[in-house]
Amino acid sequence: MGTATVVAVLVAVVSLLLLQLLELSDTTAVAASSAGPPGASTPPSVGVAPTSDSGVGALVTRQLFDELYPNRNKSFYTYDSFIAAARAFPTFGTQGSHKTRVREIAAYSAHVQQETAGLFYVEEIDQSSNYCDNTSIQYPCAPGQKYFGRGPLQLSWNYNYGAASAKVGANILAQPYLVSQDPILAFKSSFYFWTSGSGTIPSIHEVLIGKWKPSKADQEAGRKPGFGVTIDIINGGLECGKVTPQAQNRVKYFKQFCKQLNVSTGPNLSCATMQPF
């Protein structure tokens, strides 16, 4: 893909993601005021076999990282920052069978491919909006700060930066720019989103390890375990319940990464028949 195409696709994708993240605002407040997002603080229920690296590094070696993200911005998205950030989110890629863990890496890589062209972009290209939702009482915008997409999954909006702050160990609500200055924080922001549900919305991690059981409402909305519902979590409002090129891209990338990692994709890849959360 040419750079111009990548840029155009990315601009579209990022703006769609931002809209979806806005839709999560209502439930974000609920989750934050209760026990906290599901998944984020759940201890590992299935341990990995002890190796020199008991975290995701047991699976994603330095060499594999290079193979998964060959076009990444190498001066920012380093392997060491990926591993350091993952230590703060130890459930990422470490729970369930080997197949489950590999599939989670494939899913993460697919969404990252869609959001940042394979860890090429650090910040959203169009920074004209401040993405400040001033109805968020819990997480008011800091004066003069902008909350456009940053990091591997393009964290956006003040309420998401606010909810993420405690989990990433930095006040990124007050200083959102830190996310694009510190690669460890950038990766942490993506792992935060990946492992944190919100209200009745499960975390992507929970879905992929088979922990999420669709409620009656989920079943009626056509939401089933599989990669498809992870698209619904990230950007269902715009990409799901219909056929969209963005969702098709994500599925295409997921299939490619599963092939590269020699793992089956599992069922229910598409969210075309799933209603948005």
Ligand X SMILES: *[C@@H]1O[C@H](CO)[C@@H](O)[C@H](O)[C@H]1NC(C)=O
One-letter amino acid for residue 79 of the chain: Y
Q: Which residue has the tokens 């990995």?
A: 48
Residue nearer to ligand X on the CB measure, 122 or 204: 122
Round to whole Å and give the CA distance between 273 and 190: 26
Question: Given the complex with ligand X, which of 121 and 187 has the nearer CB atom?
Answer: 121
Question: 109 or 180: whose CB is closer to ligand X?
Answer: 180
Tell me whether residue 163 or residue 274 sits nearer to ligand X (CB atom): 274
Residue at shortest CB range from ligand X: 267
* Alpha-helical regions (H) of the chain: 3-23, 25-33, 62-68, 79-87, 98-116, 158-168, 183-195, 204-208, 216-220, 227-239, 245-260
Q: Residue 103 and residue 62: Cα distance in Å, rounded?
A: 18
- Smallest distance, ligand X to C-beta of residue 180, A: 7
The minimum distance between CB 185 and ligand X, in angstroms, equals: 12
Q: Token pair for residue 15?
A: 């703006």
Summarize as ranges the residues that interact with ligand X (CB under 6 A).
73, 75-76, 121-122, 134, 224-226, 262, 267-268
Give the number of other Cβ atoms within 10 Å of residue 120's Cβ: 18
Rounded to a whole number of angstroms, the minimum distance from the CB of residue 34 to ligand X is 25
Which entry of 23, 67, 104, 115 is annotated as an active-site residue?
115
Q: How far is the CB of 18 from ligand X (least distance, A)?
A: 16
To the query of whether residue 115 is one of the catalytic residues in this protein, the response is yes
What residues act catalytically?
Answer: 115
